[in-house]
Amino acid sequence: MSTTRRTGILGGRFDPIHLGHLETAAVARQVLGLDQVLLLPSKVSPHRTTPAHATDADRLAMVRLAANGDAYLTPSDLELDMDAPSYTAVTLEHLHARGFLRTQLFFIVGADAFAEIATWHLYPTVLDGAHFVVISRPGHPMADLVETLPELRGRMHRVGGDAERVPPDTETAPLVLLIDAVTPDVSSTRIRERVSRGEPLTGLVPAAVAAYIEHHRLYEPQPADSLHD
């Protein structure tokens, strides 16, 4: 049985993990008083048609470097150990089996991704497996999200700042918790493009992650195969 009372979950390809991911985790932790945030690199993303550019081992290593020194961040290989696609519903079931209660878990997701929640595996049942913590993203304000998903208005609650004078009851049933926050406008795609052009990653990823990418020559253009007679 887990002894942690409130556990955040931040999953993704992390190809590579960047400061946008870390700030999203920090915002959720601070607003909701989370005891830890699990960082879960995905094995096979069900929403992507191409594989990750870095290996599973490299992506997990970068996550561990990014979490190093932060007592609230906990790298996890839970999804990497699964053979099936990294469905959120399945991940939550595994955590339930490890002793986490539904109301102990806070699944952190960007507003852009949550806008497509109706396409997720086992929707709407997946929303009963944990609280869903939706963080605003550049170009994806909360007002738009509420309009996009009117069927979920009844379980949506704005939190943080002056959003709610009375905090919602998170001990009874899973909710959709909306947090307006300013997070870095960074993407893994942009980072890979910068590496391919030989540009620095200052202000985009932790220094240790940038050093790992450089040392292992991740995301650099691959030379054409040599021709042999």
Domain coordinates of the chain in residue numbers?
7-185
- Which of the four CATH numbers 1.10.3720.10, 3.40.50.720, 2.60.40.420, 3.40.50.620 does domain 7-185 have? 3.40.50.620
> Under a CB-based contact definition with an 8 Å cutoff, are residues 186 and 19 in contact?
yes
Residue 97: both structure tokens together:
């089996």
Report how far apart the first and last C-alpha atoms of the chain are (Å, whole number): 63
DSSP string over 28-50: HHHHHT-SEEEEEE-SS-TT-SS
The model's confidence at residue 153, banded by pLDDT at 50, 70 and 90, is: very high
| Distant-in-sequence, close-in-space partners of 180: CB < 8 Å, separation ≥ 6 | 136, 141, 142, 158, 160, 161, 163
Name the CA radius of gyration of the chain, rounded.
18
Query: Is the confidence at residue 144, as pLDDT, over 70?
Result: yes
Average pLDDT on 12-28 reads 96
pLDDT on residue 215? 98
Q: Could you tell me what percent of the chain has a pLDDT over 70? A: 91
pLDDT 10s digits, 49-100: 688 999 999 999 999 999 999 999 999 999 999 877 889 999 999 999 999 9
Query: Is the confidence at residue 163, as pLDDT, over 70?
Result: no
Residue scoring higher pLDDT (2 or 6): 6
Q: Could you tell me what percent of the chain has a pLDDT over 90? A: 76
